[in-house]
C-alpha cells in the first residue's frame, strides 16, 4: 500500500513579511514522516480570502490530507474559517458545541464572552471539532482538511490530538552517513548506488562546520532491510 500523501498550507501575513519565522511546517513534516504520511508540498499565503480559497481547493484535490495553520483567532485578520467554508461552498455559523466550550472557558476565567471571542465558534457546517487543550478555541476537520491554530504550542497540541485518528502507512525511515569529503567528489559513485536502489531515495547535503567541509548522505524508504543493505554498500564506498 502506498503511503497516504499530504500538503500543508501556512496562512499569515506575518510569515511573508518576515516578522515571524514559521515553525509549524518543520514540526508537521517530522510528525507526518513518523506516522507514514508523505508530505508532498507546502505553501504559505497571506491573510487573503481568495488566495486561501485557491490554495485550499488546489491542495485538497491533489492529496489525501491538507493541514492548515493560522488565522483562526478572534481578530479581523483571522479569516481562515470563513475562507474554508467558501472553498467548500458550505454555510458557516456560530456552532452550539463550540459556543458552549468557549462560554465555559471564559466563565471560568471571569472574562466576557464578547462578539470577537464568539467568532472563534464559527465552524463550517459538517466539520468535526479539533480539541485545543491549551486555550479551548477549537480547530476543525472538514472533509480532508484539518484547520489548526498558528501559535506553535497550540498547533502542536491539536496535531497530537488528530494524528492518531488518521490512517498512516509504513513509517518513512531514513539513515544518514557523514563523510568528510565534498559532494562533488562522491557524486558519481553515489548516483550509481542510487540507481541500484530505485525503491529508495538518496540525498546529499553539504555542510561546513568549523571549517570542516563534508557531506551528509541520507537514504530514505519504508523497508528497513533495503535501507540497511544500501547503507552497508554506502559505508563500504565511503568509509
Residues lying near a second copy in the complex (CB under 8 A) are found at: 12-23, 25-26, 28-33, 39-47, 51, 73-77, 111, 114-117, 119-120, 151, 153, 172, 174, 182-185, 187-188, 190-191, 194-195, 201-206, 208, 218, 220
CA–CA distance, 186 with 191 (Å, rounded to integer)? 9
Nearer to a second copy, 187 or 235 (CB): 187
Nearer to a second copy, 46 or 229 (CB): 46
Nearer to a second copy, 16 or 90 (CB): 16
**Residue 126 Cβ vs a second copy, minimum distance, rounded to whole Å:** 26
**Residue 29 Cβ vs a second copy, minimum distance, rounded to whole Å:** 3
**Residue 84 Cβ vs a second copy, minimum distance, rounded to whole Å:** 18
Nearer to a second copy, 46 or 99 (CB): 46
Are 149 and 157 within 8 A, CB to CB?
A: no
Nearer to a second copy, 90 or 226 (CB): 226
**Residue 9 Cβ vs a second copy, minimum distance, rounded to whole Å:** 10
Q: What is the dihedral of CA 56, 60, 66, 68, to 10 degrees?
A: 10
Residue in this structure with the C-alpha cell 472574562, named with its chain if needed: 111
Residue in this structure with the C-alpha cell 463550517, named with its chain if needed: 124
Nearer to a second copy, 43 or 90 (CB): 43
Contacts of 107 (CB under 8 A, 6+ apart): 113
Ramachandran region of residue 178, left (φ > 0), alpha (ψ -120 to 50) or beta? beta
CA–CA distance, 170 with 173 (Å, rounded to integer)? 9
Where does the chain show beta strands of DSSP type E?
5-11, 38-45, 65-69, 92-94, 122-124, 128-130, 139-142, 145-148, 173-179, 201-209, 212-221
Q: How far apart are the first and last CA of the chain?
A: 35
Q: How many Å separate Cα 33 from the centre of its chain?
A: 10
**Residue 234 Cβ vs a second copy, minimum distance, rounded to whole Å:** 13
Amino acid at each position: 500500500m502506498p503511503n497516504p500523501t499530504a500538503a500543508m498550507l501556512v496562512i499569515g501575513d506575518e510569515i511573508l513579511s518576515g516578522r515571524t519565522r514559521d515553525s509549524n511546517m518543520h514540526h508537521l513534516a517530522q510528525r507526518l514522516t513518523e506516522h507514514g504520511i508523505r508530505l508532498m508540498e507546502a505553501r504559505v499565503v497571506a491573510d487573503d480570502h481568495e488566495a486561501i480559497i485557491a490554495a485550499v481547493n488546489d491542495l485538497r484535490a491533489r492529496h489525501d490530507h491538507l493541514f492548515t495553520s493560522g488565522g483562526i483567532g478572534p481578530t479581523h485578520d483571522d479569516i481562515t474559517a470563513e475562507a474554508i467554508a467558501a472553498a467548500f461552498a458550505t454555510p458557516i455559523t456560530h456552532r452550539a458545541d463550540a459556543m458552549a466550550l468557549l462560554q465555559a472557558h471564559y466563565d471560568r476565567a471571569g472574562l466576557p464572552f464578547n462578539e470577537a471571542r464568539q467568532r472563534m465558534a464559527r465552524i463550517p457546517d459538517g466539520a468535526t471539532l479539533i480539541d485545543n487543550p491549551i486555550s479551548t478555541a477549537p480547530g476543525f476537520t472538514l472533509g480532508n482538511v484539518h484547520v489548526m491554530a498558528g501559535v506553535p504550542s497550540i498547533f502542536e497540541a491539536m496535531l497530537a490530538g488528530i494524528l492518531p485518528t488518521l490512517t498512516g502507512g509504513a513509517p518513512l525511515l531514513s539513515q544518514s552517513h557523514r563523510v568528510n569529503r565534498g559532494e562533488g567528489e562522491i557524486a558519481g559513485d553515489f548516483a550509481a548506488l542510487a540507481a541500484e536502489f530505485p525503491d529508495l531515495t538518496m540525498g546529499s547535503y553539504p555542510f561546513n562546520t568549523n571549517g570542516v567541509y563534508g557531506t551528509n548522505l541520507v537514504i530514505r524508504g519504508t523497508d528497513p532491510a533495503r535501507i540497511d543493505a544500501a547503507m552497508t554498500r554506502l559505508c563500504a564506498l565511503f568509509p
